[in-house]
């Protein structure tokens, strides 16, 4: 995802699992091999193990970084396969418009890291559930959120 911060273009790297949950986020100023290597290493360090499959866009630096960090993992760049990651950018874009842009790369990094985790917590697969189960899961999420934030 491309983000303009004070007139300079930044790149928001995002790792998403098969359910659409955000795993990791990193803001960088470049899209070269070194930037992708840094993101892959951060992702592997946080997860503790390699993924079964890696889906990226057709950026050449992703291919080079994949060969360097995890050559045994299946890497796919087929059209429409990275839609899950592209769709996960939408809440960030909406929030960015409401906030009238991000003021710095550090501000974006802090916001995106927290927003991704909170979004995973509240976003349940509504299309997979009956309405009673959906209401129950949402109620549990809000109860846990209240306990974590010490609201009540």
Map out the domains of the chain as residue ranges.
2-126
Crossing angle for the helix pair 131-149 and 105-122, to the nearest 10 degrees: 130
Of 114 and 131, the one with more pLDDT = 131
**Rounded CA Rg of the chain:** 17
Beta-ladder partners of 2: 11
Full-model pTM: 0.66
- Note the pLDDT tens digit of each residue in 15-67: 888 777 788 888 888 889 999 999 998 888 888 888 888 888 888 888 898 88
- Note the pLDDT tens digit of each residue in 70-100: 888 888 888 887 777 776 667 666 666 666 6
Q: What end-to-end distance do the CA atoms of the chain give, in Å? A: 37
Residue 78 CA to residue 7 CA, distance in Å, equals: 32
User: CATH number of 2-126: 3.40.50, 3.30.730, 1.10.260, 3.30.420?
Assistant: 3.30.420
- Note the pLDDT tens digit of each residue in 121-141: 677 666 677 888 888 888 888
């Amino acid at each position: 995802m491309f983000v303009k911060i004070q007139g300079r273009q930044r790149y928001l790297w995002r790792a998403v699992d098969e359910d659409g949950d955000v795993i990791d986020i990193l803001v960088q100023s470049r899209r070269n091999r070194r930037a992708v290597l840094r993101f892959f290493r951060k992702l592997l360090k946080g997860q503790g193990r390699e993924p079964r499959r890696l889906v990226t866009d057709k950026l050449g630096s992703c291919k080079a970084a994949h060969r360097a960090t995890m050559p045994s993992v299946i890497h796919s760049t087929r059209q429409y396969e990275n839609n899950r990651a592209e769709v996960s950018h939408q809440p960030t874009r909406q929030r960015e418009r409401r906030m009238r842009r991000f003021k710095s790369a550090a501000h974006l990094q802090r916001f995106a890291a927290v927003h991704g985790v909170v979004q995973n917590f509240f976003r349940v697969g509504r299309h997979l559930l009956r309405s009673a189960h959906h209401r129950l899961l949402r109620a549990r999420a809000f109860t846990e959120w209240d306990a974590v934030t010490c609201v009540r």
